[in-house]
Amino acid sequence: MKKTLVIALALVVALASCANPTLAAFGEVAEGAKPALARPESRAISLTAPDAYEQDDYQSNAKAIATTGALQEHNFYDDAYDWYSFAATAGKVYVIESFVSGYTDTTLTVYDGSTQKAYNDDKATSDYGSRISFTAPLTKTYTVKCYSYGGAKGSNLGYSISVTGPTATTAYSVTYNANGATSGTVPVDTATYASGATVTTKLNTGNLAKTGYLFSGWNTNATGTGTTYAPGATFTMGSANVTLYAKWTASSSGGTFTENLSLPVAVRDYYRSAYGLSGSALKTALKNIVTSTHTIKTYTGLWTMYQSTDVAPNGKVWDMYSSTSSDGTSAAYWFTFVVDQDTGSGSVEGEYYNREHTWPNSTFGGTANAAAYADGHSLTPTDKIVNNRRSNYSYGEVGTATWTSLNGSKLGSARTGLGYTGTVFEPISFYKGDHARMHFYQALRYYGDSKFLSCAWAASGAKLLPWYDAMLRSWASADPVSAKEIARNNAVQAWQGNRNPFIDYPELIGLLSLTE
């Protein structure tokens, strides 16, 4: 009798499994029936017509459903389960929800292949249906099984299902327009930005130039009447693509040099004889000012000068070839005045600092040109090894680097479109404006000096070549005069008597020609 009972029970279990082969394949058993409730049909679902997607009865034929939250209307007409699939992105949350309109209830199960990832048979509300909040562990397609509670099926058992994924973020672009430039190339921003994101404007790395005009930054209107952004400035992205136009300011070569009343009286008085002048007369007057007030010092004396002209906030040497911040608060390594002064030895960065002729002395006669050889306005304290690597190469913009210093300064072949094809040395962006204004000073102070020979960046007489002049103007615009430069200008004047006009009056570059 016991044996007969055991066989009978086994037969019942086997029949139950065969009745729903899909459930058995995924290790599930049919859920028990819930109390039947008469519910109003809240959606216009056909409860008498067969399901339009009867091919979704198996996981292999799962019906793809968008993750937009749109409802798919269905009916448990011929069976008690339907399969769906949706594409998910790793880490994103997807809400899968069923809504019952007929006289049944549903359960939902999410699968990755045959592995169950999530299950729910009730919403948090009193309404029948189910809801799963699922965080996708991988970027892939997952499947969902919607099962009629208790295995119920029939023409009156309708439901809807939806999958709601993350809201797509609209991305906006920033495009740069040359706006009539006669040479150079516009920068390209390949990034996209969501509304509210911070955008940093590009530098004029392609050396855009326009004959008779100065590059003055970027503007939201081609006429220059919109919002102006300096290169490197930031703005908040709105809800539309942005085009930034090169802003051009007419060259004031025919204008006059005007006194800036916001400067200290002593600085204003230094240029007193040049105010009101323009063109070649202004250039001659400024050259006379910076030459007549220049007391020639010794090359050895620079060690002492640096202790007042190039001091970082922490009291160490402010070396632009090792500094890693615009305000001098960080560096790849630090030098201590006197202690780390070049002794003639050293083989790696960070050991010693020496005296860098930013305009290589091999191009102007070396020690035979005493004024230029020890001119504090163009000689700076720098790491010995980086100085040696720079050698007598021109400053420039590197296309392919063959060597990079610990602070990011680069040596390598000039980038395409620069206007020069040789090897160049590129300082980091924080100090490009500093070096540009040093060389503007050189081209003014030593204009016409026969000891200044033709070289990669200048014609004889310290006349800047057009490609170099355009690049320096771009650097000066992108990296405006800093507090460091102002302090250094004052300290160099205290040492040798003259000033760098392009630090006191940056606008002078628009009033003067330094190429002829």
Residue 315 is predicted with a pLDDT of 98
Is the pLDDT assigned to residue 396 strictly greater than 90? yes
Is the pLDDT assigned to residue 238 strictly greater than 80? yes
Is the pLDDT assigned to residue 85 strictly greater than 80? yes
> pLDDT tens digits, residue range 265-291?
999 999 999 999 998 999 999 999 999
Query: Distance between CA atoms of 359 and 393, rounded to whole angstroms?
Result: 9
Which of the four pLDDT bands, split at 50, 70 and 90, describes residue 1? very low
Residue 355 is predicted with a pLDDT of 98
Q: Mean pLDDT across the chain, nearest whole number?
A: 85
Residue 31 is predicted with a pLDDT of 41
Burial class (CB in 10 A: 0-12, 13-18, 19+), 31: middle
> pLDDT tens digits, residue range 406-461?
999 999 999 988 889 999 999 999 999 999 999 999 999 999 999 999 999 999 99
Cα separation values, 237 from 67, 194, 215, 284, 317, Å: 27, 7, 24, 47, 40
Cα separation values, 88 from 63, 85, 374, Å: 15, 10, 67
- Domain ranges across the chain: 39-164, 171-250, 265-510
Choose between 460 and 230: higher pLDDT.
460
Which of the four pLDDT bands, split at 50, 70 and 90, describes residue 6? very low
> pLDDT tens digits, residue range 309-343?
999 999 999 999 999 999 999 999 999 999 999 99
Query: Distance between CA atoms of 227 and 245, rounded to whole angstroms?
Result: 10
Is the pLDDT assigned to residue 37 strictly greater than 50? no
Q: Which range is least confidently modeled, 157-161, 202-206, 333-337?
A: 157-161
Residue-by-residue DSSP string for 284-308: HHHHHHHHHT-----STTHHHHHHH
Segment 12-20 mean pLDDT: 37
User: In three state form, how does the secondary structure of 151-207 look?
Assistant: HCCCCCCEEEEEEECCCCCCEECEEEECCCCCECCCCCCCCCEECCCEEECCCCCCC
Choose between 445 and 60: higher pLDDT.
445
Residue 14 is predicted with a pLDDT of 37
Q: Which range is least confidently modeled, 167-171, 183-187, 387-391?
A: 167-171
Comparing CA positions, the residue from 511, 439, 442 lying closest to residue 475 is 439
Segment 369-392 mean pLDDT: 98
Query: Distance between CA atoms of 516 and 465, rounded to whole angstroms?
Result: 9
Residues near 481 by Cβ (< 8 Å), separated by ≥ 6? 433, 437, 503, 506
Where in 280-378 does DSSP place strands (E)? 353-357
Segment 451-480 mean pLDDT: 93
- 298 in the Ramachandran plot: left (φ > 0), alpha (ψ -120 to 50) or beta? beta
Is the pLDDT assigned to residue 252 strictly greater than 80? no
First-last CA distance in the chain: 119
- Regarding pTM above 0.85, the answer is no
Which of the four pLDDT bands, split at 50, 70 and 90, describes residue 168? low
Decide the pairing of beta strands 115-120 and 106-112: antiparallel
Class of the CATH domain delimited by 39-164: mainly beta
